[in-house]
A and B are shown apart, each in its own frame.
Chain A
């Protein structure tokens, strides 16, 4: 059987402790409980590991993987635990391997415009250290204050700036990986071109920890744009707002972000933050960011986009150039997920993605689903990437059983529509993890799915590397 594992014996704990040292091994239930879940609902998905290791080097991780291979113990790699698809949950117990103590910047190479850092560094911290040199890592997950670089790569994080800068994978030039067998492998490097054999690095990006453990990465850096400004544009209906998105993209201006927020997302967040955005008659808002090297260009582009929105029926066009105002409106956008969670912790935060021309078609279908299943689905997200966070929320009054009955039906219907008629995908940036693996199988053509399985078996024949994620 695929998922048959050895037990974590006292002797094995002793061997593991000899590798990482006593302070880096946790076994008491209270402490390891924190490692039993990510940002998905604890009630639905949590699973407690046998023990948690916080190694401090790739060598230690290699030694751990050798033992895990010998004893056939499942190992679940973990970053900050801010994932949204259950990727860091140790479904079969065993070892959770947290890279939290590997959090150093190893080299900033200004001549080559690269930085090399360990996987456990907080993404924001990395950018803080680069700031004084006028450089930045253009990956921008919305959880940047907490998430780790390693998790960003493993999930190929997208986030709020992908319209212009693309997703995390675009900036990863090289990485160090420990394989399930315990070998340390260097992939890529500081080169910008590379067709020397299969591109294994790309394979690891977005692999959700199922092929190995990313321990460090070399990242391509960009110069920090000197100016950035925002527009906040309310529309009477979500449909009107979303219909503007492809038009903006056609203008030849590439905004940094085009974020969409429907009325219920904004309302929940404004009440959570005690913020007072003008909401009368508003059906949805777009939050658009434009950055660049000089003020005049950014200003001109901002006005051009703003004018287009007005022509397309925007109720008003607010402009935020001052840092205080920019922070104020971004804070609304950043807090939506948290606000919805405070309203109802049990929910399904989706991140379906469609070709941008199809975005306007998503919302009417969400309306139908809302009506059919009698649930609220606040919707927001990275409209400029065609990536929407429709959040199916369990009403506080609904019973958990009813929810468990409803959720898969609704999701199946949504995913079939997204991947079928619209040519989209079921996850743009949160990943498949635990939560969507059944649906992935349902929407993936058999031949492609077979390749997925063959790939996993080739890298991890014992199924010890984050088992039960992406595929069964």
Chain B
């Protein structure tokens, strides 16, 4: 029976969290279909314990491609591993994370294997009668949920929004197989070379992966005031986000931008400060678990989406919250 596959992503520190989230998705689909769950891991010097961990988190078969040429993601190398593997093993479903890697690799591969691909899904299900994969994604700025399927093509491919599922609990008793894929000269990328990585200054800007994001907007009035957001993010142990207005004004760098022309995020807590909530911004936070808004305008759009709102002068409110959080951390 054709397997369900996920793509596991590695960073320098081992597997990314999102790889486990995908296993939770994949496990549910594989169980529904009564098939094995496979995952493909590409990288260099992948740790054995990581492979074991994938199995403990729900995977049945781990396909490993470990080679120096795969140390960094380059689209062509990774595709040269994945395309023949898909053609050989014929999985019925292939899901990857909607990260910069997933969103680059999957469309490239989908063309080569003539498969349908749905971007940035938030829900997956199996259609009872046909056993087709139903992929649901927010469209048109999150105003609409579209359900999409690829009935006549295999694998059915999707990218999944990070943090849209919980990481499953490990089960040390689970067993599975590790399949090592023999290296091939086609993996070496003659065309693209990674030269280095420059980390983002100050905050790590990976707001897609953050549990808590504190965002600031036009209501902060000027650049100097944006430090209030940075302080609050720190106190919450979260990351700094920004509305398009704030980024356009140079108060925060583009990697921090939340919304349709920035990033779509699903943190556990999103704190929107001085953000009125243009549709484009709301589209980026609709899947946040909890939204707190701090705004002077009780008619601001953001309040339609917020779970909790403080309406008043943010320059009075922020220091007070900051104070409380600091008192707590001293306890």
A residues bordering B, Cβ < 8 Å? 272-275, 342
Contact call B222/A274, Cβ cutoff below 8 A: no
Contact call B221/A274, Cβ cutoff below 8 A: no
Contact call A342/B250, Cβ cutoff below 8 A: no
Determine if B248 is an interface residue (Cβ-Cβ < 8 Å). Answer: yes
Report the separation of the CA atoms of residues A273 and B251 in the bound assembly, to the nearest whole angstrom.
10
A121 to chain B, nearest CB (A): 12
User: For residue B221, which residue of chain A has the nearest CB?
Assistant: A342
Determine if B324 is an interface residue (Cβ-Cβ < 8 Å). Answer: no
Report the separation of the CA atoms of residues A275 and B250 in the bound assembly, to the nearest whole angstrom.
9
Report the separation of the CA atoms of residues A273 and B248 in the bound assembly, to the nearest whole angstrom.
7
A327 to chain B, nearest CB (A): 11
Report the separation of the CA atoms of residues A342 and B225 in the bound assembly, to the nearest whole angstrom.
12
Report the separation of the CA atoms of residues A275 and B247 in the bound assembly, to the nearest whole angstrom.
11
Residues of B close to A275: CB separation below 8 A = 248
Residues of A close to B248: CB separation below 8 A = 273-275
Residues of B close to A273: CB separation below 8 A = 248-249
B225 to chain A, nearest CB (A): 11
> Restricting to B180-229, which residues have a CB under 8 Å from any CB of A?
221-222
Report the separation of the CA atoms of residues A275 and B245 in the bound assembly, to the nearest whole angstrom.
11
Report the separation of the CA atoms of residues A272 and B221 in the bound assembly, to the nearest whole angstrom.
10
Report the separation of the CA atoms of residues A275 and B221 in the bound assembly, to the nearest whole angstrom.
16
Residues of A close to B249: CB separation below 8 A = 272-274
Number of contact residues on B: which range applies? under 10
Residues of B close to A342: CB separation below 8 A = 221-222
User: For residue A271, which residue of chain B has the nearest CB?
Assistant: B250
Report the separation of the CA atoms of residues A170 and B221 in the bound assembly, to the nearest whole angstrom.
35
Report the separation of the CA atoms of residues A151 and B119 in the bound assembly, to the nearest whole angstrom.
49
Q: Top 6 closest A-B pairs, CB basis?
A: A274-B250, A274-B249, A342-B222, A273-B249, A274-B248, A273-B248
Residues of A close to B250: CB separation below 8 A = 274
Report the separation of the CA atoms of residues A329 and B249 in the bound assembly, to the nearest whole angstrom.
14
Report the separation of the CA atoms of residues A29 and B222 in the bound assembly, to the nearest whole angstrom.
27
B214 to chain A, nearest CB (A): 21
Residues of A close to B221: CB separation below 8 A = 342
A271 to chain B, nearest CB (A): 9
Given A273-B248, A273-B249, A274-B248, 6 new contacts (CB under 8 A): A272-B249, A274-B249, A274-B250, A275-B248, A342-B221, A342-B222
9 residue pairs from A and B, CB less than 8 Å apart: A272-B249, A273-B248, A273-B249, A274-B248, A274-B249, A274-B250, A275-B248, A342-B221, A342-B222
Residues of A close to B222: CB separation below 8 A = 342
Report the separation of the CA atoms of residues A275 and B249 in the bound assembly, to the nearest whole angstrom.
7
A324 to chain B, nearest CB (A): 10
> Restricting to B219-259, which residues have a CB under 8 Å from any CB of A?
221-222, 248-250
User: For residue B247, which residue of chain A has the nearest CB?
Assistant: A274
B38 to chain A, nearest CB (A): 44
Residues of B close to A274: CB separation below 8 A = 248-250
User: For residue B313, which residue of chain A has the nearest CB?
Assistant: A34
User: For residue A272, which residue of chain B has the nearest CB?
Assistant: B249
Residues of B close to A272: CB separation below 8 A = 249
A97 to chain B, nearest CB (A): 21
Report the separation of the CA atoms of residues A78 and B221 in the bound assembly, to the nearest whole angstrom.
24
Report the separation of the CA atoms of residues A274 and B245 in the bound assembly, to the nearest whole angstrom.
10
A266 to chain B, nearest CB (A): 16
Report the separation of the CA atoms of residues A273 and B218 in the bound assembly, to the nearest whole angstrom.
10
Report the separation of the CA atoms of residues A342 and B223 in the bound assembly, to the nearest whole angstrom.
11
User: For residue B296, which residue of chain A has the nearest CB?
Assistant: A34
> Restricting to B249-287, which residues have a CB under 8 Å from any CB of A?
249-250
B324 to chain A, nearest CB (A): 21
Report the separation of the CA atoms of residues A400 and B222 in the bound assembly, to the nearest whole angstrom.
23
User: For residue B251, which residue of chain A has the nearest CB?
Assistant: A274
User: For residue A122, which residue of chain B has the nearest CB?
Assistant: B299
B110 to chain A, nearest CB (A): 30
User: For residue A328, which residue of chain B has the nearest CB?
Assistant: B248
Report the separation of the CA atoms of residues A341 and B235 in the bound assembly, to the nearest whole angstrom.
31
A207 to chain B, nearest CB (A): 29
A441 to chain B, nearest CB (A): 37
**Residue of A272, A273, A274, A275 ringed by the most chain B CB atoms within 10 A:** A274
User: For residue A125, which residue of chain B has the nearest CB?
Assistant: B299
Report the separation of the CA atoms of residues A272 and B248 in the bound assembly, to the nearest whole angstrom.
10
Report the separation of the CA atoms of residues A274 and B221 in the bound assembly, to the nearest whole angstrom.
13
Report the separation of the CA atoms of residues A342 and B249 in the bound assembly, to the nearest whole angstrom.
13
Report the separation of the CA atoms of residues A377 and B38 in the bound assembly, to the nearest whole angstrom.
70
User: For residue A273, which residue of chain B has the nearest CB?
Assistant: B249
Report the separation of the CA atoms of residues A274 and B250 in the bound assembly, to the nearest whole angstrom.
6
A323 to chain B, nearest CB (A): 13
Report the separation of the CA atoms of residues A274 and B244 in the bound assembly, to the nearest whole angstrom.
12
User: For residue B222, which residue of chain A has the nearest CB?
Assistant: A342
Report the separation of the CA atoms of residues A274 and B246 in the bound assembly, to the nearest whole angstrom.
10
User: For residue B250, which residue of chain A has the nearest CB?
Assistant: A274
A23 to chain B, nearest CB (A): 14
Report the separation of the CA atoms of residues A274 and B249 in the bound assembly, to the nearest whole angstrom.
4
Report the separation of the CA atoms of residues A342 and B224 in the bound assembly, to the nearest whole angstrom.
11
Report the separation of the CA atoms of residues A272 and B250 in the bound assembly, to the nearest whole angstrom.
9
A462 to chain B, nearest CB (A): 36
Report the separation of the CA atoms of residues A274 and B257 in the bound assembly, to the nearest whole angstrom.
15
Report the separation of the CA atoms of residues A342 and B250 in the bound assembly, to the nearest whole angstrom.
15
Report the separation of the CA atoms of residues A191 and B120 in the bound assembly, to the nearest whole angstrom.
56
B281 to chain A, nearest CB (A): 16
Report the separation of the CA atoms of residues A274 and B218 in the bound assembly, to the nearest whole angstrom.
13
A339 to chain B, nearest CB (A): 10
User: For residue A274, which residue of chain B has the nearest CB?
Assistant: B250
> Restricting to B276-324, which residues have a CB under 8 Å from any CB of A?
none
Report the separation of the CA atoms of residues A274 and B251 in the bound assembly, to the nearest whole angstrom.
9
A248 to chain B, nearest CB (A): 31
B313 to chain A, nearest CB (A): 10
Report the separation of the CA atoms of residues A273 and B221 in the bound assembly, to the nearest whole angstrom.
11
User: For residue B248, which residue of chain A has the nearest CB?
Assistant: A274
A9 to chain B, nearest CB (A): 31
Report the separation of the CA atoms of residues A272 and B222 in the bound assembly, to the nearest whole angstrom.
8
B256 to chain A, nearest CB (A): 14
A145 to chain B, nearest CB (A): 10
Report the separation of the CA atoms of residues A342 and B248 in the bound assembly, to the nearest whole angstrom.
17
A364 to chain B, nearest CB (A): 34
User: For residue A331, which residue of chain B has the nearest CB?
Assistant: B248
A94 to chain B, nearest CB (A): 26
User: For residue B276, which residue of chain A has the nearest CB?
Assistant: A145
A333 to chain B, nearest CB (A): 16
User: For residue A335, which residue of chain B has the nearest CB?
Assistant: B249
Report the separation of the CA atoms of residues A413 and B221 in the bound assembly, to the nearest whole angstrom.
34
Report the separation of the CA atoms of residues A272 and B249 in the bound assembly, to the nearest whole angstrom.
7
A276 to chain B, nearest CB (A): 10
B312 to chain A, nearest CB (A): 10
Report the separation of the CA atoms of residues A418 and B264 in the bound assembly, to the nearest whole angstrom.
54
Report the separation of the CA atoms of residues A409 and B249 in the bound assembly, to the nearest whole angstrom.
36
B298 to chain A, nearest CB (A): 11
